[in-house]
Amino acid sequence: MSQKHAVVIGSGFAGLSAATHLAANYYRVTILEKNDSPGGRARKFEHQGFTFDMGPSWYWMPDVFENYFAAFGKKPSEYYDLIRLDPSYAVIYGQDDVLDIPADLDEFKKMLEEIEPGAAKQLELFLSQAAYKYQVGIHDLVTKPSRSLFEFTSPSLLLDVLRMDIFQSMSKHVRKFFKSDKIIRLMEFPVLFLGETAENIPALYSLMNYADIVLGTWYPKKGMHEIIRGMVQLAEEHGVNIRYSSEVEEIEIEEGKAKRLRLISGQKIEADVVIAGADYHHVDKHLINPTYSNYTEEYWDKRVMAPSSLLFYLGIDKRLKNLRHHNLFFDEPLGPHADAIYKNPRWPEKPLFYASVPSITDPTVAPEGMENMFLLIPLAPDLEDSEELREKYYHIIMDRLEQITGQEVRSHVVYKRSYAHSDFKSDYHAFKGNAYGLANTLTQTAILKPSLKNKKVSNLYYTGQLTVPGPGVPPSLISGQVVAKEVIKENNSQ
C-alpha cells in the first residue's frame, strides 16, 4: 500500500506542526511555502550583523513547546537553548514610573503588595483559579477539533466549563480581585495577545496570567526563529519535503475532493489530502472555486479580527539604557487607543507601543557595542497604510521613548525597516492586513470559529490562527497537532 501524500500550504508554526505530526504517522508530506524561507510571520532577516525576528517575540507556555517536541521523542533543548528573563518585562507608565516584573513569584507578590495592600493575598486567589483554567484550557479544551458541540458535553467537561468563567469578561474578573489601576492594567495586558480588550475577552483567559506570572517569560538564544529552525530540522528528520518560493495559485477540486495544487509557476502537485496553513480567508475565497467556499464574504466581514501592527526593525550604533528585553509603554491611557482599534477604526492619536531589545539579553543578534530594537504599535486592521503615516508614527513613539528613557536614539539608528498592513497582505495574504488572526471573543471561541475542515471538500483542512484553537504561537503549535489527528482519524476510518 503506497503512502498517502499530504500537502501543507505554509511553513509557519501550524503548518510545520501539522506536517511533522503527519509524517510521523507514515504520510508522505510536502510543504509549499510562498516565501523563500520558513516560519511565516516568524521569519527572520539579517542586515550587516543585525538579526531580526520579524514577528513573535514572546516565548510563553514552555510546557506547550515541551509537549510538542516530546510527541516525537525529543526536547526543545536538542534544538535551541532557553533563557528565563528576569525581569520578565518592564511596564512603563511614565517617566520615572516603571515596574520591572520579577520572575520570582514571591518578589512579584511583594511588588503588588507595595502598590496595593492586600494584593498579595488576592493574587494567590486569582492565580489558583488561573492555574485551574490553564490546566483544563491548554491541556484539554484547546486540543479539541471543535467540529461538534458534543465534544463538550461530557459531565466532567461541562462542570469544567462552568468553572472556567467563559461568560464573565476578563475586565470584571480582574476587578473582583484588585483595585489599583496599575495592577489592573498589568493583569489585563496578557489578553491583548488575543486580539480584543479585556471587556470583550472571556475571563477564561486569566489562564494567560498563570502563563505569564508562574511559568515565566523565556527567550531562545539567537532569537525566536531558532524555534522555527528546530521545527524545520525535526520535520526534515521525519522526511517532510519543504519547497520554498512555491506559492499556490489554485487548489483543483474534482467530485468533492482536492486533487492537486497548481503553483503560480504552473507546476501541478497531486495530493491525497490538503492542509491549508495559509490565511484561511485567502484559501477560502481565492484558492478554491467559490462553489466550495466554507463561508460567504459577508461572514468574513463580520468577523472580529485581532489587530494589525506597525513594526519598526532598528539597528542602533550604541548601547541603550533604561530599557529591558521587553518594554510595554503604557504611558498613555488605553481607552482611546482601544477605541481606535475596535470601535472606531483609525490611526490612534496617542498610541500605546511595545519595544523589544533582544540584544540586551543576547549580544549575538547585533554587532558588538550595538543594539537590535523592535518597535510595535497595535493598529486596527484594514487601515490606509502609507510611508508618510509610518514615518509620522515612528516619530510619535520615538519622541516618547527618548523622553521617558532619557537618551537620544534616532540619531544613532544605522538601519531602519518598517512593516505594516500592506506588507502583511503582500507576504502572507493576511485578511485585512491582520497580524494576529481572529480575536478570541466569546462568539469566536471553539465551535464558533471557522471550521478546521471544509464542509464541501472531503480532504481539505485548515490550520493556524484563523481557526481552532486561536491566535498565538502555542495555539498554532496545537492547531497543527489537532488537524493532523483529524486527518489521521478520518483516513483510518475510510
At residue 250, φ and ψ (nearest 5 deg) are: -155, 140
Decide if 88 is inside a domain: no
- pLDDT for 492: 84
Q: Over 60: is that where the pLDDT of 190 sits?
A: yes
Decide if 61 is inside a domain: yes
Decide if 449 is inside a domain: yes
Give the residue from 406, 428, 450 where a domain finishes: 428
Whether residue 255 sits in one domain with residue 163: no
Give the residue from 374, 409, 428 where a domain finishes: 428
Q: Which cell numbers in the block locate residue 378?
A: 497595535
- Alpha-carbon distance of 294 to 399, in angstroms, equals 46
Q: What is the mean pLDDT of the chain?
A: 95
Smallest CA-to-CA distance from 374 within 57, 43, 49, 42 is with: 57
Decide if 333 is inside a domain: yes
Whether residue 190 sits in one domain with residue 166: yes
- What residues have CB less than 8 Å from 175, skipping those under 6 apart? 184
Q: Over 70: is that where the pLDDT of 153 sits?
A: no
- pLDDT for 150: 65
Give the residue from 196, 215, 234 where a domain finishes: 215
Q: What number is the average pLDDT over the span 89-113?
A: 97
> Half-sphere exposure (CA, 13 Å, Cβ side) for 25?
17
Whether residue 298 sits in one domain with residue 443: yes
Weakest-pLDDT range from 13-22, 153-162, 338-347:
153-162
- pLDDT for 139: 86
Whether residue 403 sits in one domain with residue 319: yes
- How far does Cα 389 stand from its chain's mean position? 25
| Per-residue buried b or exposed e for 34-58, using 16+ beta carbons within 10 Å of the residue's own CB | bbebbbbbbbbeeeeebbbbbbbbb
Q: Over 60: is that where the pLDDT of 1 sits?
A: no
Decide if 149 is inside a domain: yes
470: containing domain: 5-81+222-302+438-492
Instruction: Specify the CATH number for the domain of residue 118.
Output: 1.10.405
Whether residue 45 sits in one domain with residue 192: no
- pLDDT for 486: 97
Weakest-pLDDT range from 109-113, 143-147, 210-214, 382-386:
143-147
User: In Å, how far are 147, 154, 252, 431, 453 from 7, measured between CA atoms?
Assistant: 22, 34, 13, 22, 15
Decide if 90 is inside a domain: no
Decide if 93 is inside a domain: no
Q: Over 90: is that where the pLDDT of 410 sits?
A: yes
Smallest CA-to-CA distance from 459 within 275, 304, 336 is with: 275
Whether residue 418 sits in one domain with residue 312: yes
Helix %, strand %, coil % of the chain (to 5): 45, 20, 35
At residue 355, φ and ψ (nearest 5 deg) are: -125, 130
Q: Which cell numbers in the block locate residue 457?
A: 471538500
How many CB atoms lie under 10 A from the CB of residue 451? 17
Top-ranked range on mean pLDDT: pick from 192-196, 239-243, 443-447? 239-243
Smallest CA-to-CA distance from 52 within 446, 457, 419 is with: 419
Whether residue 124 sits in one domain with residue 71: no
- pLDDT for 196: 86
Instruction: Specify the CATH number for the domain of residue 25.
Output: 3.50.50.60
Decide if 29 is inside a domain: yes
- pLDDT for 2: 73
In single-letter form, the type of residue at position 79 comes to Y
Pairing, β 241-243 against β 28-32: parallel
467-481 tens-digit pLDDT: 999 999 999 999 999
- pLDDT for 159: 64
Whether residue 136 sits in one domain with residue 39: no
Whether residue 311 sits in one domain with residue 417: yes
Q: Over 70: is that where the pLDDT of 291 sits?
A: yes
How many CB atoms lie under 10 A from the CB of residue 427? 15
Query: pTM here?
Result: 0.97
231-288 tens-digit pLDDT: 999 999 999 999 999 999 999 999 999 999 999 999 999 999 999 999 999 999 999 9
Share of the chain above pLDDT 70, in %: 97
Whether residue 272 sits in one domain with residue 234: yes
Q: How is 144-208 classified by DSSP, letter by letter?
A: S--S-GGGG-SHHHHHHHHHTTTTSBHHHHHHTT---HHHHHHHHGGGGGGTS-TTSSBGGGGHH
> Half-sphere exposure (CA, 13 Å, Cβ side) for 205?
30
Whether residue 401 sits in one domain with residue 255: no
Smallest CA-to-CA distance from 64 within 108, 101, 13 is with: 13
- How far does Cα 255 stand from its chain's mean position? 36
Whether residue 424 sits in one domain with residue 405: yes
Q: Over 70: is that where the pLDDT of 156 sits?
A: no
Number of domains the chain is built from: 3
Q: What number is the average pLDDT over the span 327-344?
A: 94
Confidence of residue 459 (pLDDT cuts 50, 70, 90): very high
Burial (CB < 10 A; 0-12, 13-18, 19+), residue 243, is middle
**H/E stretch holding 380:** none
